[in-house]
A and B are shown apart, each in its own frame.
Chain A
Amino acid sequence: MSTEALAPFEVRSSLDHCIKCTVCESSCPVAAVTPLFPGPKTVGPQAERFRAGDHSPDLSVDYCSGCGICTRVCPQGVRIAEINSRARAEMKVERGIPMRDQILARPGYMGKAGRPVAPLFNWALANPVVRLLGERIVGVHRKAPVPLAASRSFSYWAGRRRRFLAPRRVVYFHGCSTQHFEPEVGKKVVAVLEHNGFQVLIPKQDCCGLPLQSNGIFGAARRYVERLATQLSVPGTEGLPVIASSTSCGLMLKKEALEILGVEDGHLAEISKRTYDLFEFLLELHERGELRTDFQPVPLTVAYHAPCQQQNQLIGKPALDLLRLVPALRLVEMDRLCCGIAGTYGTKREKYDIAMRVGEPLFADIKTASPDLVACDSETCRWQIAKATGVTAVHPLEVLYRAYGGS
């Protein structure tokens, strides 16, 4: 398939390429575990011919997790997942968006609300009674992985540190998770980039709108991503590479905002072309001989899982390629498609069991490998994997950071 983003009507027209070979259906991790989802071909190129934009005929497309594997495996280039995401949004506009999805779709609100009272907030999220109420009242499964609020945001840290000046500069797109839940990841990203001689510009930035998009709330998602595009291109950053450490948010900028949301903002299209996944950027540096390889031994066994949204960028598994350079590191590649969580999908009461069944083969492989750590580029996948396996899950950057001597 082509890696160029398509115009919205081209996404729909790509259904013309479907020859009903069913490769997508046999690769779909959700259809494999539940009859509630009839499969990506069925709700995608097949059902799309029955959609005329006036009134949504759909129900089951809601069970698509949006992992995007169907689009990736399609030998004919049908944008199956994109067609399905748009159909799901149409359906939700018509049938109403539950309050639960409105909340899940705005992680920034939760992060901001939790920060001032982080200990209490985090205690509540770990409390079974609170969680049971949350399931009953809101619809978030009581066992679903949820992140803990950080008491200081990443931007708080970034605004107070001494500036590192260098001729080579990059813009860092850290995403909501780094901002509100895992500021340590962001600090290490900055450290690794600076170690390699880059000045890291961190403009004020808000949510990219991905959770809104995956929950079918397209109007707000478009506003969010357009706002982000403006924020990331503050004067003085023209043409600089934009580095995303959250792989799903990076994909949003690179492709999904254009293909799924149909954002026609020229600004966004321009930024999209110079957005890199963190490890994609680092591997390119290495291929040009510009990455420092003063690695120290990291005597750990690390199981690496490439998340769907990273795989959908069609850049291979750059983290795996780079971490192989680290001495003494025993890296085990997990050859499974999906952990099941798919952003907020697996946290929902009615989908939690499905998500756990989807992830089961991965969890089993991880347990077999009995690693010290799991490395995975996507935050929600890390939370899901850690919760399901009990193994600590980190961004692969953290392993690289250790190799550079960080602790």
Chain B
Amino acid sequence: MALSQIETDLLVIGGGSTGAGVAWDAALRGLHVTLVDRGDLATGTTGRFHGLLHSGGRYVVKDPSSARECASENLILRRVAADCIEDTGGLFVTTPVDDPAYADRFVEGCGAADIPVEEITVGAALAREPRLNPRISRAFVVPDASIDAWKTVWACVRGATARGAKVLPYHQVMSLTMTADAVTGAYLRDARSGEQLRVRARCTVNAAGAWSRRVAELAGCEVGVVPGKGIMIAMNHRVVNTVVNRCTMPGDGDIIVPIRTVSVIGTTDIPVSDPDHIDPTREEIAEMMEAGEALVPGFSQGRALRVWAGARPLFPKTTGKQVSDTREVTRSHSVLDHEALDGVGNFLTITGGKFTTFRLMAKDALDLAARKLDLSAECTTATVPLPDSESKRFYWIGARQEEMEHEAPDDPLICECELVSRGDLQAALARRSDWQLDDLRRALRIGMGPCQGGFCAFRVAATLHRDGQYDRLAANHALGAFVEERWKGVKLISWGDQLRQTRLDQWIFQGILDVEHLPK
């Protein structure tokens, strides 16, 4: 059987925010792009962050160059990715456990990094966020916001696809094809069908983030990326509607981000060797819940919904040093030209950085790639809005509730927690033909609410079966796998309300449906 082949200008490896940003930028510059990921898009670090669009305030003292990048990218993304952003605003507050002297350094740093900052009274801060610790001594308003990582990645990908890009999720790079001095493409394997595929590319960008070391090794190159594990806990509802930060040197559990229907507390920072094995520990969870008390008294009594960890792609600019404290590594990014570094042409790695700066990372990578491809087109991602962001209207938390109020009463809810109707599900199914149950979760937020799939998972599986997407056995299998996956994020935080929920879910899945023993 002949191998399928794709000819492309640019092969991008890694479908997180960086890779999607590279694809979008390249497509705008007129390049033909092929974007591949071993799983679904935005399932690595991008899909596992807290959702904070940094104002830069967090880094003004510790990492001023990263702060400046965040500040300018924040302004740009508000213009071009409005639909993905909720303009929550941010507060930095000095809690009783924080060094009161830091606040003045913070204000000075904001000035130096061009971050608009305004000090407000404690009373005004409490009026804005009634659950904040009343014992804070100072409060500053900065333009933090929350940003939906999945929406952003899909918007980039939709925009790129409309300009001819080819996007291949669930395609793992098996090997890179090389001449003596350059990368010429890759062999891919479709994780679902097992089929192999060959891509010939004029240039290849390694945008695998925390996994970029592995991709670079396929070309015999070394990338000294250090995965920094950070855990996050989503609380059942928004305890604050503004991003709240402790006004202190960045540490563990000092940010609460209101993102969509939840509030996420983060995070930790621990160097790890393997970004695929970063399970949170009970100790880390306990510390995180306790840390939340400094910002919001009673925080630890709230209902934790889910815990997860992400792996930051930290790239120490001073090479050769052993990294023991990843907090000390800059959050800025680096573009590595493997031709200059390792004598491997047409191959570059973009790593380091943060979600907030993904557009800038893509631009810097593309500027180098463009030189290699002898392309003169300039970057336009700072001015061309992403699909659905043309109106420049920010996302609003009440949108789904408001939409539901206007939906036909005969369009029942499939997912009650995140308000996904059967019509919404069918519209999503019509957009793409190869949905996995878990992809629908990221696309629609099915299974991400308080019941963690207890009431919607079987409805979705049944709908997929009825619509011919899954045969009976595949539907059974998908349901079992989905429930298993949800359980991973819940088992470590199963106490109180979430434990009650888990018991009810178990009665549904084990007692009524007996999912473990369904024929698969």
Measured between beta carbons, the chain B residues less than 8 angstroms from A148 are none
Query: Is the pair A52, B417 in contact by a Cβ cutoff of 8 Å?
Result: no
* Cα separation A9 to B451 with both chains bound (whole Å): 22
* Cα separation A59 to B398 with both chains bound (whole Å): 12
Query: Given A20-B417, A57-B401, do A49 and B500 touch, yes or no (CB 8 Å)?
Result: no
Measured between beta carbons, the chain B residues less than 8 angstroms from A231 are none
Tell me, yes or no, whether B236 is within 8 Å of chain A by CB: yes
Query: Is the pair B241, A19 in contact by a Cβ cutoff of 8 Å?
Result: no
Query: Is the pair B497, A19 in contact by a Cβ cutoff of 8 Å?
Result: yes
Query: Given A50-B419, A76-B500, do A20 and B261 touch, yes or no (CB 8 Å)?
Result: no
* Cα separation A19 to B241 with both chains bound (whole Å): 23
Tell me, yes or no, whether A170 is within 8 Å of chain B by CB: no
What is the 8 Å Cβ interface bit string for chain A, positions 37-81, against chain B (1 contact, 0 not)?
A: 010011000111111111111111000000000000000100000
Query: Is the pair B261, A49 in contact by a Cβ cutoff of 8 Å?
Result: yes
Interface residues of B in 53-95 (CB under 8 A from A): none
Which one, A10-18, A102-110, A283-291, is touching chain B?
Answer: A10-18
Query: Is the pair A21, B504 in contact by a Cβ cutoff of 8 Å?
Result: yes
Which of B239, B401, B416 has the most CB atoms of chain A within a 10 A radius of its CB? B401
Query: Is the pair A19, B417 in contact by a Cβ cutoff of 8 Å?
Result: no
Tell me, yes or no, whether A35 is within 8 Å of chain B by CB: yes
Query: Is the pair A16, B409 in contact by a Cβ cutoff of 8 Å?
Result: no
Tell me, yes or no, whether B397 is within 8 Å of chain A by CB: yes
**Neighbour of B501 across the interface among A19, A38, A47, A50, CB < 8 A:** A19
Tell me, yes or no, whether B455 is within 8 Å of chain A by CB: yes
Measured between beta carbons, the chain A residues less than 8 angstroms from B239 are 13
Query: Is the pair A52, B130 in contact by a Cβ cutoff of 8 Å?
Result: no
Query: Given A15-B236, A20-B451, do A59 and B417 touch, yes or no (CB 8 Å)?
Result: no
Q: How many A-B residue pairs have CB under 8 A?
A: 84
Which chain A residue lies CB-closest to B238?
A: A52
Nearest-CB distance from A41 to chain B (Å)? 8
User: In terms of DSSP, what is the predominant structure of the interface of chain B?
Assistant: loop
Query: Given A20-B451, A20-B454, do A57 and B402 touch, yes or no (CB 8 Å)?
Result: yes
* Cα separation A59 to B500 with both chains bound (whole Å): 31
Measured between beta carbons, the chain B residues less than 8 angstroms from A15 are 236-237
Measured between beta carbons, the chain A residues less than 8 angstroms from B417 are 20, 46, 49
Query: Is the pair B236, A20 in contact by a Cβ cutoff of 8 Å?
Result: no
Interface size class of chain B, counting residues whose CB lies under 8 Å from the partner chain = 35 or more
Query: Is the pair B400, A50 in contact by a Cβ cutoff of 8 Å?
Result: yes
* Cα separation A56 to B405 with both chains bound (whole Å): 12
Query: Is the pair B500, A19 in contact by a Cβ cutoff of 8 Å?
Result: yes
Measured between beta carbons, the chain A residues less than 8 angstroms from B130 are 9
What is the 8 Å Cβ interface bit string for chain B, positions 442-470, against chain A (1 contact, 0 not)?
A: 00000001110011000000000000000
Which of A49, A54, A58 has the most CB atoms of chain B within a 10 A radius of its CB? A49
Query: Given A19-B500, A20-B416, A46-B416, do A60 and B405 touch, yes or no (CB 8 Å)?
Result: yes
**Neighbour of A58 across the interface among B258, B400, B405, B450, CB < 8 A:** B405
Measured between beta carbons, the chain B residues less than 8 angstroms from A56 are 398
Query: Is the pair B455, A20 in contact by a Cβ cutoff of 8 Å?
Result: yes
Tell me, yes or no, whether B472 is within 8 Å of chain A by CB: no
Nearest-CB distance from B90 to chain A (Å)? 15
Query: Given A46-B417, A51-B401, A58-B405, do A17 and B504 touch, yes or no (CB 8 Å)?
Result: no
* Cα separation A57 to B407 with both chains bound (whole Å): 13
* Cα separation A98 to B454 with both chains bound (whole Å): 41
Tell me, yes or no, whether B131 is within 8 Å of chain A by CB: yes
Which chain A residue lies CB-closest to B496?
A: A16
Nearest-CB distance from A389 to chain B (Å)? 32
* Cα separation A223 to B504 with both chains bound (whole Å): 43
Measured between beta carbons, the chain A residues less than 8 angstroms from B238 are 49, 52
Measured between beta carbons, the chain B residues less than 8 angstroms from A49 are 236-238, 261-262, 417, 449-450
* Cα separation A49 to B302 with both chains bound (whole Å): 14
* Cα separation A382 to B277 with both chains bound (whole Å): 67
Which of B238, B455, B504 has the most CB atoms of chain A within a 10 A radius of its CB? B238
Tell me, yes or no, whether B97 is within 8 Å of chain A by CB: no
Nearest-CB distance from A58 to chain B (Å)? 7
Measured between beta carbons, the chain B residues less than 8 angstroms from A42 are 413, 416
Query: Is the pair B398, A50 in contact by a Cβ cutoff of 8 Å?
Result: yes
* Cα separation A76 to B258 with both chains bound (whole Å): 25
Which chain B residue lies CB-closest to A21?
A: B504
Query: Is the pair A47, B401 in contact by a Cβ cutoff of 8 Å?
Result: yes
Interface residues of B in 356-408 (CB under 8 A from A): 396-402, 405-406
Measured between beta carbons, the chain B residues less than 8 angstroms from A48 are 237
Nearest-CB distance from A22 to chain B (Å)? 9
Query: Given A52-B397, A55-B396, A57-B399, do A35 and B237 touch, yes or no (CB 8 Å)?
Result: no
Query: Is the pair A52, B497 in contact by a Cβ cutoff of 8 Å?
Result: no
Which chain B residue lies CB-closest to A8?
A: B130
Tell me, yes or no, whether B303 is within 8 Å of chain A by CB: yes
Query: Given A21-B504, A51-B398, A57-B399, do A9 and B131 touch, yes or no (CB 8 Å)?
Result: yes
* Cα separation A133 to B303 with both chains bound (whole Å): 52
Measured between beta carbons, the chain B residues less than 8 angstroms from A47 are 401
* Cα separation A21 to B503 with both chains bound (whole Å): 11
Measured between beta carbons, the chain B residues less than 8 angstroms from A60 are 405
**Neighbour of A17 across the interface among B398, B413, B497, CB < 8 A:** B497
Measured between beta carbons, the chain B residues less than 8 angstroms from A58 are 401-402, 405
Query: Given A16-B237, A52-B238, do A35 and B409 touch, yes or no (CB 8 Å)?
Result: yes
* Cα separation A21 to B451 with both chains bound (whole Å): 10
- Which residues of A are interface residues toward B (Cβ below 8 A)? 9, 12-13, 15-21, 35, 38, 41-42, 46-60, 76
13 new A-B contacts at CB < 8 Å, known A19-B450, A49-B236, A58-B401: A13-B237, A20-B417, A20-B450, A20-B504, A35-B409, A46-B417, A49-B237, A50-B400, A50-B401, A52-B258, A56-B398, A57-B401, A59-B405
- Which residues of B are interface residues toward A (Cβ below 8 A)? 130-131, 236-239, 241, 258, 261-262, 302-303, 396-402, 405-406, 409, 413, 416-417, 419, 449-451, 454-455, 497, 500-501, 504
18 contacts between A and B (CB under 8 A): A13-B237, A16-B302, A19-B451, A19-B497, A19-B504, A20-B450, A20-B455, A20-B504, A38-B409, A49-B261, A49-B449, A49-B450, A50-B401, A51-B401, A52-B238, A55-B398, A57-B401, A58-B401
Q: Which 5 A-B pairs have the closest CB atoms?
A: A57-B398, A16-B303, A57-B401, A50-B401, A57-B402
